[in-house]
Chain A
Amino acid sequence: MPYEAWKDNEYIESLVKELQESGANVVVGSLDKLINWGRSNSLWPLTFATSCCGIEFVSLGAARYDMARFGWEVARSSPRQADFIMVAGTIVNRMAPVVRRLYDQLAEPKYVIACGACAVSGGPFKKSYHVVMGVDQIIPVDVYLPGCPPRPEAMIYSIMQLSRKIKVERFFGGVNRQQKQADFLKEHPIEGVED
């Protein structure tokens, strides 16, 4: 990917536009559009934080960064009602089953943002014996957000990227996403779980 592309915030949209112009078969019904509009504009996070990034997430809600502007302030404590989980902080071996369970408890459609170096790759704890090296080992991730911890501006950007992704979800295929998720879950099964 060329360097310029990283600076282009709308690259997902422009990619769609390009495809449409080149005559790719796109049938996006208006109902789908409405649904995606609703989904992308109403992202309720799960209150979930393990360490430093969680505090920046609190700052994100505060007056200066005010995520309420985008309608993200309805942080639900119950995973059943949340739309995305911002894995804010290090995930350690003991926490891994819990994160996985939280992800399974989220209602569809559900999204994941790996927030901070630890959740992306293990970060400064790469040499540790008790840290999951990237949360994508246990749950599928939609947006990776580096930083230690990422600034609240970066967090806003990451959720906006997620929102863009959802807006064109139908185009890239809701089926496709679900398929990918199903594959992931098949590759990472939970054994011996008794409800």
Chain B
Amino acid sequence: MFDFSILTEWIHSTLLGFMPQWLAVTTECVLIGLVLLLTYSVLALFYIWFERKVCAAFQCRLGPNRVGPFGLLQSVADMFKILIKELISLKHTDKFLFALAPYLVILASMLAFAVLPWGNGLQIINFNIGIFFLIAVSSIGVLGILLAGWSSNNKFTLIGAMRSGAQMVSYELSIGLSVLTMVAFAGTMNVVEIVEEQSNLWFIFSGHIPAIIAFIIYLIAGTAETNRGPFDLPEAESELTAGYHTEYSGIHFGFFYLAEYLNLFIVSGVATLLFFGGWMPLHFPGWDGFNAIMDYIPSVVWFIGKAIALSFVIIWFKWTFPRLRIDQMLALEWKYLLPINLFNLVLMVLIIVYGLHF
């Protein structure tokens, strides 16, 4: 497996060769920022196209196919259009908060990118509370949504934002607990170590029953966390026109739109990290030939491939299920997911203590 840290080390040492430490670090930061922005937009554009194609396939349609080959340029065209669309400024709104909200939302998803394990030795920052950081920054998003709903001075956006607040605060618990279950199993919060522990067998296999329960809960809560169907109440089209971002136009709306898809990627990425071995290839203990072949596939491909496969499942939910009602959604979280999750945590601890895992 190619270790990307060789590459990053080389860049670092080359830069140190002709510039002082502070300048080298600054240059690296700028470089990383640029790469991150690029990845971010390319991924988002891909995801928009992907969702439209998948949705079309479920609905017996063709989906975009006129702009570029297989409609691949469709989302690019959308991006150009949305970039130059008018930004409508509203009267009687809090202009600062109104403008701030989309940036908060996009900031949250961008920060989460920092700790995702993109490949072997390829992550922006490696520190011992990686998972903790991830959960912390992904909660900033709800602030943006609440602000957007509040500052628009519109009743629909306000209802959308209140729903969103209730939803996110509740489902954060489930996400946290199912992540905690897996952290207990891994014994570390360090993202790199979590991945490395799965070099023999992915957690979803080695942790068997509690891991599978945790995965299912995580997937449900993650879908809710990204405001996607069947939990898309904050922007329920048939009830609240466009929910909390009703009043946003142009690129501000574009930010919400992008963030929605990037959050989808982040949720699937974290699931990949915790349950499907991150960038780790599919290894089975004892199957050496098979494992060697799997090692030939680059780690970045593994990570992104797994994340997209999981996103496909979440998209599948959206285009299959009807939407829940707000009270039903909260009941699902507080009456079912939370107790199951707590029970699952105990189960996991028992399994670890008695060594019942693989």
Binding site for B on A (CB under 8 A): 34-35, 37-39, 41-42, 62-63, 66, 68-71, 73-74, 76-78, 80-81, 83, 105, 107-109, 195
Contacts and interface: CB of A to CB of B under 8 A. Distances in A.
B95 interface: no
A107 B249 contact: yes
B246 A80 contact: yes
Contacts of B92: 195
A74 B237 CA distance: 12
Contact of B242 (A37, A38, A68, A81): A81
Q: Which of A66, A74, A78 has the most CB of B within 10 A?
A: A78
A78 B256 CA distance: 14
B80 A68 contact: no
B63 A38 contact: no
Nearest to B79: A38
A107 B52 contact: no
B60 to A, nearest CB: 5
B151 to A, nearest CB: 14
Interface of B: 52, 56, 59-67, 71, 73-74, 76-88, 91-92, 237, 241-242, 245-250, 253
Q: Which of A77, A83, A109 has the most CB of B within 10 A?
A: A77
Given A63-B59, A68-B61, A35 B253 contact: no
B72 to A, nearest CB: 11
A78 B88 CA distance: 13
Given A41-B74, A66-B62, A78 B246 contact: yes
A107 B241 contact: no
Q: Which of A62, A66, A80 has the most CB of B within 10 A?
A: A80
Nearest to A65: B61
Contact of A78 (B73, B85, B242): B242
B180 to A, nearest CB: 38
B225 to A, nearest CB: 23
Given A37-B80, A41-B81, A69-B71, 19 more contacts: A38-B81, A41-B77, A42-B77, A42-B80, A62-B61, A63-B59, A66-B56, A68-B63, A78-B245, A78-B246, A80-B249, A81-B248, A83-B85, A107-B85, A107-B249, A107-B250, A108-B85, A109-B86, A195-B91
Contact of B77 (A69, A71, A76, A80): A71
Closest 5 CB pairs of A and B: A38-B80, A41-B77, A80-B249, A108-B86, A78-B242
A74 B88 CA distance: 20
Contact of B64 (A68, A77, A78, A108): A68
Given A80-B246, A81-B248, A39 B81 contact: yes
B265 to A, nearest CB: 20
B250 A71 contact: no
A69 B246 contact: no
Contacts of A108: 85-86
Contacts of B242: 76-78, 81
Contacts of B56: 66, 68
A80 B64 contact: no
